[in-house]
Amino acid sequence: MPESDIRVAKLVDIPVIQRLVEKGTILDSELACTREVISQHMLTNLLLHRNVVTLVGRVDQQRIAGQFRLKAAEHLAQILYIAPDLSETISDTAWLELVDSMAFEAGRRGAHMLTGEVDEDSRLFTTLRSAGFAVYARQEVWKRPAGIGLPNDVTPAELQPETDGDAMEVQLLYCNIVPRLVQPVAVPSGESQGFVYRGVNDRIQGYVAVSEGKTGIYLMPFLHLDIPYHSAASILAGAIARVNRADKLPVYICCRRFQDWLEEALTELGFESCKQQALMVRHIAAGIRQAAFTPLKQALEVVPAGMRPPTTPVSKSITDQGE
């Protein structure tokens, strides 16, 4: 058995974490596409954000660290990174121990699922399968280089920033598009800004979550299947046009398998596929809460009169009927 000592990180662990993160693997596509200095971002999370948990430790002689973000409302934990990126000559035992520790810490904090976005051709994909993760969805990340303008024959559609009054329609759109199994884990990041597209009868038929960082712009579209193919490119172009620095930074779009009909529109807008990934999920056993029982007398008081149990003992009742 390997000697494992993995714990929640403290401020004194910052130098070790910083060294490890520089060679880490990012399991959050939005983060990977929009952040320039990953180590700085991770350390900021460690210091300032209570919903981010960082683990650090040693497995045998291997130093290791990892971080996940809690989404308390969804009972979900998203892995942000695992470090270091182990070479082919090193056993993946350290990764397995770290992932188990992440699942334990996430479960303690109320999460029911632990997720990660993993390149399909990476060694980590196989490791997570061994650690009890299952593939919930396939996704492809498309990239449009900086400095490329929108095609002249594509007119950007008009999109408006999401408002509180749009919440119900956006939720309905989401439920109609995203498969039920994937719905709990496919929600856009809370750091993104939403834009809505209104189609027939002024109903919301499209929603695009936009995240902007120092190194890129990340879009996650949810377009209704009733939208024609030729309109999809206009809607995506409209979302890009809403971002001020879209002409100066590369733009990435995450297209999950249930939205793969958008590929033609992405090609038309100058995007090229750059990553094929799996959205992987590990279920965490839910914690058992202390049972709370209502006193029997109090419970009977709220039962309607017609449903109250007989006050005569059952044995006596049977004897009376026999007489």
Instruction: Report domain extents, the chain.
Output: 4-132, 142-275
- Output the pLDDT for position 309: 45
Band the pLDDT of 312: cuts 50, 70, 90.
Answer: very low
Full-model pTM: 0.82
Nearest to 33 by CA among 45, 43, 41: 41
- Output the pLDDT for position 38: 59
Band the pLDDT of 44: cuts 50, 70, 90.
Answer: low
Place of tokens 């990180």: 9
Structure tokens at 81: 């990174």
Q: How many CB atoms lie within 10 A of CB 60?
A: 12
Structural contact between residues 23 and 85, judged by C-beta atoms closer than 8 angstroms: yes
Mean local confidence (pLDDT), 100-125: 94
Band the pLDDT of 18: cuts 50, 70, 90.
Answer: confident
Question: What is the C-alpha separation between 48 and 3, in angstroms, rounded?
Answer: 31
Judge whether 4-132 and 142-275 match in fold.
Answer: yes
DSSP secondary structure, 8-70, as one string? E--GGGHHHHHHHHTT-EE--HHHHHH-S-HHHHHHHHHHH-TTEEEEEEEETTEEEEEEEEE
**108-112, 133-137, 158-162, 297-301 — which is least confidently predicted?**
297-301
- pLDDT at residue 307 above 50? no
Domain 142-275 matching CATH 3.40.50.1220: the answer reads no
Band the pLDDT of 288: cuts 50, 70, 90.
Answer: very low
Q: Which fold has domain 4-132?
A: Aminopeptidase (3.40.630)
Amino acid present at 27: L
Q: Look at 78 and 304; give whichever has higher pLDDT.
A: 78
Give residue 70's region: left, alpha or beta (phi > 0; psi -120 to 50): beta
Structural contact between residues 146 and 250, judged by C-beta atoms closer than 8 angstroms: yes
Place of tokens 């996650």: 220
Structural contact between residues 107 and 287, judged by C-beta atoms closer than 8 angstroms: yes
Mean pLDDT value across the chain: 85
